[in-house]
Structure 1
Amino acid sequence: MKDDVRRSRTAFVWVGVIVPLAIILITTVIVATWLPELPDPIATHWGAEGVDGYGPKWMAIVLPLGVGGGLVAFMTLIGVSGHRMPQSSTKSQVQPWGPTSRFLGGMNLGLALLFAFISLVMTGVQRGITDAAQAPDIAGAVWIALGLLVVGAAVGWFLQPRSPEPTGDAGAAGEDIELGETERAAWFGTAAMARPGIITLIVAVLLLIITTVWVFGADPGTGWIMATVTLLVVLLVVVTLVFRVRVNAEGLRVRSIAGWPRWNIPAADISDVRVVSVNPMGEFGGWGLRIAVDGRMGIVLRTGEGLQVTRHSGRRFVITIDDAATAASVLNSAAKGAQS
């Protein structure tokens, strides 16, 4: 393992796992010692008119340990395993650690501070009272907790080193294609989600549709809201499953099979073309139309090789496709031809 990867992972463990869990455990112990002083039931939710939600005393333990600790554990799992997702390309291995993991480490610290503060305030204002309805409002504390989330996430981000650069030939520049004066080159390809991903999406959409039908039958008012959301999700899935890619003397054109969304990058606006190895979770935080932490915009539908195009403005566009090397060569020649 490279030293920069080891440093990144060690920092993630301390900033995003050990410290957040320590904060949550300390908070849980403090709250547990306060349980005999709390009313039964306790207040669990405040509305415009004051307390409007109640629960048993043990709910005071569930908030920091169950909800807060559960979120930290879930995000830790994504952070340490996202880069291990199966690779669907025969190219070199993808980035072993990415900015998404660094971001999740910072978020874990922020979430721990949020849940710790809310838990201490929520239970602290109820110590010594016999009726939870008398608990004072904690709306101000919620805003402070949100501020702690933002500050904690930012501090956690900067406490970790910059993510290591991709390894192998992940940054290979596109080679030129020698063309005669009357010759033209073009490349056509398809960017599509792998079959397991398509199956997963179909199952998820079917479950969403079934849930919508059930909600509609139980409560038509809420059902219409669910139906609208379901329709938007279905449309989003349809327009992002498959994209057609064309590279020629005009530049790069990427278009959904539904006709929209589409991107056109003129050859004259291209400053660099590279073949990259893409890790959707590690670099972009997931699959589909994504914006990475480092500002790259991407159509990342699977793990593996992809085409990265940098504009003169510095903006970078990434799309996962097979035979990215050939596409890069054609596009690189087109870019140089447009600037000559």
Structure 2
Amino acid sequence: MTTTRPTPPHRLATTVTTLVVPLLVIATTVVVAVSWTPRLPDPLAVHWSGSQGPDAFGSLKDAVAIPLLFAPLFALGMWALAFWAGRDASTRRLAAGFSTGLAVLMSVVVLGSLAVQLDLADAADAPGINDVVAWAFGGGILAGTLAALVVPRDVPMPSTAPVDPTAPRTALAPEERAAWTRSVTSPVGAWVGGGAVLVVVVLAIVLQVPALLILAAGLGLLLASMLVLRVSVDARGLVARSPLGRPSVRVPLDEVVAARVTQIDPFGEFGGWGYRVGQGGRVGFVLRKGEGIEVERTGGRVHVVTVDDAATGAALLNTLADRARGGATAR
């Protein structure tokens, strides 16, 4: 593999979508909240118990503490990831989507919980905020999706250079066609994710917060999109797709620098299971511990996919990449 990796592209767009926009959202939230001070009760409600009324009271500072402190720090972390390791567009999209989405979600919760208290003499008379929470999740998901969509795509970076000669190959006759495919699931991720969905559903029932069911449904879709995978190597290159079609990994043959087998530790290297961004900006589907295919791609990008029989897939990918560039097809 190469030792020097190029600087991630689109750093200005990364800064705007991942840092500037979330900070503007939070700043606007704080300005609006402060402007409402004359119309808010003192003390004001800062916490609600399910569908019931408020059960904790405090100052305006208490109400805006989370968006004022946590969301900007989260945005800064996402920006640093995308700015320094975002060689692949999926890394930049994930960073922009989560950063902007969280900022909008928290801002809607804060402003919505304050709005229901405007002109009240006693904050204890404030109604429940189930609708506010629902709007917050909906707004956060929509804003995060839009932020991810405006992130610039990766431009094609085809290469005519030979595939790394030290990478494994498989023997193919000059006119022989070949393809390889495997399916992979994540039992651990399914148990952990399924448990999280169950917890959210139980909380929605116990706390009488129907809006949490939206979160449970979202988590279920996320599991379906990230914990079941079909991996193929053929004339298209490497293709790894979830049942929903997104997210996906596609590495065309003319962008393969080298494919190899690697041993992957999901939690240690990627912080969990699913479609992940890991150490050094590596991206891909990490569904279980063990062997997988690691593809070094033009532009300094690295994709990983945990899958059985990774040696066969990696060797075939290198061989087909050789053939696509007019090189040798057998070793």
Normalization by structure 1: what TM-score? 0.50
Distance (whole Å) between structure 1 residues aligned to residue 22 and residue 141 of structure 2: 14
CA–CA distance in structure 1, aligned partners of residues 106 and 25 of structure 2? 9
1:6 aligns to what SS in structure 2?
coil
| 1:318 maps to 2:305 | yes
* Inter-partner Cα distance in structure 2 for 1:80 and 1:325: 33
Q: Counterpart of 2:275 in structure 1: which amino acid? A: I
Name 1:145's counterpart in structure 2: 136
Say if 2:52 and 2:127, in contact at 8 Å, map to a contact too.
Answer: no
Give, as a single letter, the amino acid of the residue that structure 2 aligns with 1:175. R
Which residue in the other structure is 2:110 paired with?
A: 119
3-state secondary structure, aligned to 1:44: strand
User: Residue by residue, what CA displacement relative to the aligned partner does 1:222-262 show, whole Å, maximum 9, x if unpaired?
Assistant: xxxxxxxxxxxxxxxxxxxxxxxxxxxxxxxxxxxxxxxxx
Q: CA deviation at 1:288?
A: 5.7
Of 285, 304, 307, the residue aligned with 1:297 is: 285
Q: How many Å apart are 1:74 and its aligned residue? A: 2.9
Aligned AA (1:35) = T
Distance 1:307 1:97, change over 3 A: closer
Asked if 1 retains the 8 angstrom alpha-carbon contact of 2:259 and 2:314, the reply is no
Q: For each residue in 1:164-217, what CA deviation from the matched residue of structure 2 results, as whole angstroms up to 9, or x when unmatched?
A: 5689889768534599xxxxxxxxxxxxxxxxxxxxxxxxxxxxxxxxxxxxxx
Q: CA deviation at 1:149?
A: 1.0
What CA distance in whole angstroms lies between the structure 1 residues aligned with 2:293 and 2:17? 32
Contact 2:82–2:91 (CA under 8 A) maintained in structure 1: yes
Asked if 1:286 is matched to 2:275, the reply is no
Which residue identity lines up with residue 285 of structure 2 in the other structure? M
Q: Could you tell me which runs of 5 or more consecutive residues in structure 2 were left unpaired when the two chains were aligned.
A: 174-228, 239-255, 278-282, 296-302, 320-331
**2:9 counterpart letter in structure 1:** R
Mapping for residues 9-20 of structure 1, pairs under 5 Å:
9-20=11-22
Question: Taking structure 1 as reference, are residues 139 and 171 closer, same or farther at Cα in structure 2, changes over 3 Å only?
Answer: farther
Asked if residue 72 in structure 1 is aligned to residue 75 in structure 2, the reply is yes
Shift in Å at residue 296 of structure 1? 5.0
Q: Residue 175 of structure 1 aligns with which residue?
A: 169
Instruction: Give CA-to-partner distance per residue, 1:120-153, whole Å, 9 cap, x none.
Output: 1211222322321111222111101111111111
Paired residues of 1:39 and 1:132 also in contact (CA < 8 A): yes
The separation in 1 between residues aligned to 2:143 and 2:133, in whole angstroms, is: 15
Q: Which runs of 5+ in 1 are unaligned?
A: 84-94, 180-262, 309-315, 334-340
Structure 2: distance between partners of 1:318 and 1:166:
21
63, 67, 92: which one pairs with 1:101? 92
Is the alpha carbon distance of 1:29 and 1:154 closer, same or farther for their aligned partners in structure 2, counting shifts above 3 Å?
same
Q: Would the alpha carbon gap of residues 113 and 170 (structure 1) be closer, same or farther in structure 2, given more than 3 Å must change?
A: farther
Equivalent residue in structure 1 for 2:152, among 146, 151, 161: 161
Checking the alignment, whether the CA contact within 8 Å between 2:293 and 2:314 is kept in structure 1 is no
**Displacement, 1:22?**
0.9
Larger Rg: 1
> Offset at 1:26?
1.4
For 2:287 and 2:48, the matched residues in 1 are separated by 42
Q: Deviations over 1:271-292 (max 9, x none)?
A: 35763499x9xxxx92564435
Asked if structure 2 preserves the Cα contact closer than 8 Å seen for 1:41 and 1:55, the reply is yes
Q: 2:233–2:313: 8 Å Cα contact kept in structure 1? A: no
Amino acid at match of 1:24: I
2:48 counterpart letter in structure 1: W
Task: Say whether residues 1:55 and 2:58 are aligned partners.
Answer: yes
Q: State TM-score, norm by structure 2.
A: 0.51
Measure, in 2, the Cα distance between the counterparts of 1:170 and 1:74: 37
CA contact (8 A) 1:177 1:329 kept: no
CA contact (8 A) 1:105 1:157 kept: yes
Work out whether residues 9 and 87 of structure 2, in 8 Å CA contact, stay in contact via their aligned partners in 1: no
Quick check: 2:259–2:294 contact (8 Å CA) kept in 1? yes
Q: Does the C-alpha gap of structure 1 residues 130 and 171 become closer, same or farther in structure 2, counting only changes over 3 Å?
A: farther
Distance 1:11 1:167, change over 3 A: farther
Q: Residue 22 of structure 1 is aligned with which of 17, 21, 24?
A: 24
Shift of 1:96: 2.9
User: Using a 3 Å threshold, how does the CA distance of structure 1 residues 264 and 77 change in structure 2: closer, same or farther?
Assistant: closer
Name the % identity: 26
Q: Secondary structure at the match of 1:130?
A: coil
Count of matched residue positions in the alignment of Structure 1 and Structure 2? 220
SS at match of 2:60: coil
Q: How many Å separate the matches in 1 of 2:271 and 2:162?
A: 19
1:327–1:115 Cα change, 3 Å: closer
SS of the counterpart of 1:49? coil
| Structure 1 CA distance for aligned equivalents of residues 109 and 154 of structure 2 | 32
Q: What's the offset of the Cα at 1:27?
A: 1.3
